[in-house]
């Protein structure tokens, strides 16, 4: 019997996280996150925001890009957007993890509005590597993470300002840790990681015209190779992925602004409103006008595509 090559390919899921309106950070904690994590090391995911995780108790394997790192109680992980990763409990045992999901650019720009060069340098460092620290090397980080989690849960007076300051301190401590000798992971340049430059470019430039030639050049691939790898790892073409990102951004604008539809279309890269309407309808199942009118009926419908795009905040045992 011939081996099933498709079964051996890594399965990649893109998880999209929508932060609560007016919040810079989302905490994920509680009994639902005491569970068995992961199934296969090859089934990895990436997302649109940064993730910090802390293992309260348990043991397992952390897959970060092409590295596999053992973890135990108190381990702290820092995972930038677009970094392929997954968590695997040892021997299918129960583990307890808590997470923070956030946009570092929003936090740092709020903290240092008059120093864009400093913000850019910190963001560059934060986005360049994943980090996995054992408990003994993460004492200060653990203290700050716990304080942020507590503020997210209790929401005492001034909690937003307190979270802003705590998260700023946390990000600067993480940035400092990259200069020390720790276990941090540089992106690999083979396999699924070959398409990450295109994913990152789309994330930064979705509002501008983007060609397949542009994306292929960024990845040092031919256009045919790029299309093949997107299909292989994400089950969609580069154009389909770009469309998905643009519609996600439109979804955010429709939820948070009162821009006219023509302005929304322009801000997410569509010069032609009819093309925007058609693609929004295809992904969301309703027109942008219907969504804007009755968004409470349709929230959560975004990103239910066949591969790779799943709404965030899924339970870790979900496929």
Write the pLDDT tens digit of every residue in 82-127. Answer: 888 899 999 999 999 999 999 999 999 999 999 989 999 999 889 8
Contact status, residue 135 vs residue 142, Cβ threshold 8 Å: yes
Ordered by where they begin, the domains of the chain are 5-185 (2.60.120.280), 191-301 (1.10.10.60)
Q: pLDDT (tens digit, 9 = 90+) per residue, 302-316?
A: 444 333 444 444 545
The CA distance from 314 to 317, in Å, is 8
Closest CA relative to residue 63, chosen from 81, 80, 82, 38: 38
Whether the Cβ atoms of residue 168 and residue 102 lie closer than 8 Å to each other:
no
Q: What is the pLDDT of residues 180-233, one digit of tens each?
A: 645 555 544 456 678 888 888 898 899 999 999 999 999 888 999 999 888 877
């Amino acid at each position: 019997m011939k081996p099933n090559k498709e079964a051996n390919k890594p399965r990649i899921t893109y998880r999209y996280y929508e932060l609560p309106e007016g919040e810079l950070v989302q905490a994920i904690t509680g009994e639902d996150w005491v569970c068995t994590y992961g199934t296969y090391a090859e089934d990895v995911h990436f997302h649109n925001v940064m993730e910090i995780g802390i293992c309260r108790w348990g043991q397992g394997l952390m897959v970060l890009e092409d590295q596999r790192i053992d973890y135990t109680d108190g381990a702290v992980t820092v995972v930038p957007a677009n970094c392929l990763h997954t968590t695997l409990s040892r021997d299918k045992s129960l583990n307890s993890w808590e997470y923070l999901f956030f946009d570092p650019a929003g936090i740092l720009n709020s903290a240092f509005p008059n120093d864009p060069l400093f913000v850019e340098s910190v963001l560059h460092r934060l986005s360049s590597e994943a980090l996995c620290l054992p408990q003994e090397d993460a004492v200060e980080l653990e203290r700050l993470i716990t304080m942020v989690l507590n503020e997210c849960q209790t929401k005492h007076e001034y909690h937003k300002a307190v979270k802003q300051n705590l998260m700023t301190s946390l990000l600067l401590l993480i940035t400092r840790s990259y200069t020390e000798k720790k276990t941090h992971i540089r992106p690999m340049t083979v396999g699924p990681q070959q398409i990450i430059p295109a994913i990152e470019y789309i994330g930064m430039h979705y509002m501008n015209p983007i060609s397949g030639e542009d994306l292929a050049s960024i990845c040092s691939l031919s256009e045919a190779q790029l299309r093949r790898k997107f299909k292989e790892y994400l089950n969609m073409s580069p154009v389909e992925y770009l469309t998905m990102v643009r519609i996600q951004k439109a979804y955010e604008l429709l939820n948070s602004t009162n821009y006219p539809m023509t302005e929304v279309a322009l801000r997410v890269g569509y010069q032609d409103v009819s093309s925007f309407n058609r693609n929004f309808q295809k992904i969301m199942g309703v027109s942008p006008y219907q969504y804007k009118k009755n968004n409470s009926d349709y929230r959560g419908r975004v990103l239910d595509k066949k591969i790779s795009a799943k709404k965030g905040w899924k339970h870790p045992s979900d496929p």
